[in-house]
Amino acid sequence: MADLSRADQAASGQAAVGQVDVDRRPGDNGHWIKARHEFRGLRTVEHYFTVPLVHQAEVPGETITIFAREYSSTDHSAQEAATLPWLLFLQGGPGGRGNRVTSLSGWMKAAAKDFRILMLDQRGTGLSAPIERQSLELRGDAAAQAEYLTHFRADSIVADAESIRGVLGSGPWSVLGQSFGGFCALTYLSFAPEGLREVLITGGLAPLHGSADRVYQATFRRVAARNAEYFSWYPEDREQLTRIVRHLERQPEFLASGERLTPERFQMVGSFLGGNTRVHALHYLLEDAFIDTPSGERLSESFLEQVRGLVSRAGNPLYAVLHESIYGQGTATAWAAWRVLEDYPEFKPDAQEPLLTGEMVYPWYFEQDPALVPLREVAEQLAARQDWQPLYDPARLATNTVPVAAAVYEDDIYVDHDLSLETAAAVQGLQTWVTSDFHHDGIGEDGEGIFRRLFGMVRSRR
């Protein structure tokens, strides 16, 4: 094995299970493997790749390291697995790292029958040049940090994927994109379709044109309808929610991390509304809210701790900083959700019966969340940026030849059904499966069934 490069070892499957490559020096192609492990019916290989920070730079410059974990089933021998075609998974986000799993289930169980799965940590996430307040400080002032972050959108993620595909020696590969990962898949179809064998998209058909405002007009409408649906199931929670908001207006309550829980920040627990079964867990959260104390009625510590995990971006600051930029093409996003909110006063805390919000990002996030306060000026610069490059090529998508199948969820509060179908109609050959059986996290509910259905759709086209 000493005569094999690390890339050759990965391809041959000769490395021992549990082997750790303590050398970790990149090969000539900038690729190295740190370790392989086998447990609970799955086999993992930890890949590291060196890629340019700016792929289209005229002069070679700074590089970054991208991490991806390969998953395969032990139903295949290591040698057999090394011959399977690749399926690249593009995670939701922005700012979401690749899934860390301890067994093959759901869509991965279905996919592992035919593929090696490459679980990519998109740049800026996980082990791929991770973006946090501390790491951004290395870039310099706010202007330098903002400029750096312009290289962490879908176009750069796709360029990374193409570079990795070449290093792995793969022909056109299959891609599964969930949510923002679906946005990235559309960018892939726009600018590097030659690298794609087929594309599956779940809850991730982005609008190809228009400002971010039209996205949030649709989003607020969907979230309002989801609030109404939830309160029709749990009418007692309508009063409980208002009671919590009014309590927070008059009584300071603090999270364990020290910051005050404001009414508008509490409304972020509306993230529950985007789920299939998770939405019902919101009821269990709200019923934990109050406790009697010597000083009167207060929010319980157990409730506040649950809320802290829902309203803090400490674990994923990139989501807040780059969120609206995923819709930026040629114009400033200018805090679109905050501006559109003026058309939907029922979402404001002082409404008679305030509603819970969804995934919208507002300027006050960068005033109230300690993890985001240091990034306030960076976020302001990104919101004002005018020269965002196109993320899609409508002309190329109109002549697309890559088989594509997309699950479109009728009541998705994060990726609007109507805008999704508008995009589907603009991509030649894209097949849609429109369903009301799932919400945005459908692959977490029945990933195996959804994967098989979409996979069957693309393969039927061959």
- DSSP letter string over 20-87? B-S-----TTSEEEEEEEEETTEEEEEEEEEEESSTT-SS---EEEEEEEEEEETTS-HHHHTTSPEE
Strand 290-293 versus strand 296-299 pairing type: antiparallel
Q: Please give the backbone phi and psi of residue 267, each rounded to the nearest 5 degrees, phi first.
A: -60, -15
Contact 41, 142 (CB under 8 A): no
Residue that the structure tokens 């649950």 belong to: 306
What is d(CA 16, CA 280) in angstroms, rounded to the nearest whole number? 45
CA distance 381 to 136: 14
Active centre residues (catalytic): 179, 387, 440
Euclidean distance between CA atoms 368 and 259, whole angstroms: 8
**HSE-up of 106 (CA within 13 Å, CB side)?**
11
Collect contacts of 302-305 with beta carbons under 8 A, ≥24 apart.
304/253, 304/254, 304/255, 304/256, 304/261, 305/255, 305/256
- Alpha-helical (H) ranges within 251-313 are 263-266, 278-287, 301-311
Residue 275 CB partners (closer than 8 Å, separation 6+) = 281, 439, 440, 441, 444
Q: List residues bridging with 65 in a β-sheet.
A: 50
Residues 462 and 460: their CA atoms lie apart, in Å, by: 6
- The token duo for 92 is 């939701």
Q: Are 311 and 259 in contact (CB under 8 A)?
A: no
DSSP letter for 92, please: S
Q: Helix or strand or coil: residue 117?
A: strand
DSSP-derived secondary structure for 154-178? HHHHHHHHHHHHHHHT--SEEEEEE
Are 67 and 47 in contact by the 8 Å Cβ rule? The answer is yes
Annotate 156-179 with b (16+ C-beta within 10 A) or e (fewer): bbbbbbbbbbebbebebbbbbbbb
What's the CA gap between 54 and 38, in Å, rounded?
A: 35
**263 neighbors 299 (Cβ within 8 angstroms):** no
Q: 412 is written with which tokens? A: 């998705």
